[in-house]
Amino acid sequence: MPYVNVGRENSADINLYYEDHGSGTPVVLIHGYPLSGASWEKQVPVLLSAGHRVITYDRRGFGKSDQPATGYNYDTFAEDLRKLILHLHLRDFALVGFSMGGGEVARYIGEYGSRDVSKAVIIGGVPPYLLKAPDNPDGVDASVFEGIQKAITTDRYSFFTEFFKNFFNLDVLLGKRISEQAVQANWNVAVSASAVASLACVPTWHEDFRNDIARVDVPTLVIHGVADRIVPFQAAGEKTAKLIKGAQLLAIPEGPHAVAWTHADEVNPALISFLATGAARRASGSL
């Protein structure tokens, strides 16, 4: 299994697990909390069929990556992504981030610029700024995040059971767009994550990405479920699309947070079409 070293904690290396498949224009898929790169299983085959090189990886603390007790902040997450990109010598690549992964997309461009980044896609992402504040009245009250941290500390196994109810809007979509078995599989991945990471990531959800979003100068597609109960559409996706010049917005009316799974039939065609447009222009321009 391939790993990239991103640092050390005391006497141990910190290695991230990644998968690198196919050929063509690279697409880096960045997963959400509390899952792993395997959560892109409805997108990877479609992207490969469309002729892309597809890279997934597990964020530190999650999936098959190492589980250090440090580094759970977006500057480090972006640095980890940067080390993976340099390790693979990627050029002209697209960044696609779901939920927390949308934060990596924003912070990566905010910190390192858009050189070699061809496009950006943010799906149910946490940018631009989730925390309710005097200059962000549509945000989520701090007590919500505090309650989540308390629930994780008390019993993270029980917390994940409740979390996934709203992650997939199970009261509406169970048995229609997602099965009980798929929910269980996601729970299994979640509880295998580091207990430290499960808790430490929560405060990062309300990171202020407004300065990072202001630096996004590549073609951008924002996809967000209007019925998202985890990251509210009006506070996140809708605002992000307005703040990025020329960004396209796909609002999925009945979409929950995890639209890439429940509404893959809508997400995938939009994703493939968006990624193909620039590729077609580059190909015709090179003839």
Domain map (residue ranges) of the chain: 3-282
Active-site residue, 114 included: no
Active-site residue, 99 included: yes
Active-site residue, 89 included: no
The residue written with tokens 């945000």 in the block is 139
Q: Which of 65, 99, 194, 198 is catalytic?
A: 99
Predicted model pTM:
0.95
The gap between the terminal CA atoms of the chain, to the nearest Å, is: 39
Residue 205 DSSP class: G
pLDDT digit string (tens) for the chain, length 287 residues: 799 999 999 999 999 999 999 999 999 999 999 999 999 999 999 999 999 999 999 999 999 999 999 999 999 999 999 999 999 999 999 999 999 999 999 999 999 999 999 999 999 999 999 999 999 999 999 999 999 999 999 999 999 999 999 999 999 999 999 999 999 999 999 999 999 999 999 999 999 999 999 999 999 999 999 999 999 999 999 999 999 999 999 999 999 999 999 999 999 999 999 999 864 334 333 33
- 3-282: CATH, from 3.40.640.10, 3.40.50.1000, 3.40.50.1820, 3.40.50.300: 3.40.50.1820
Of 94, 250, 230, the residue nearest 169 (C-alpha): 230
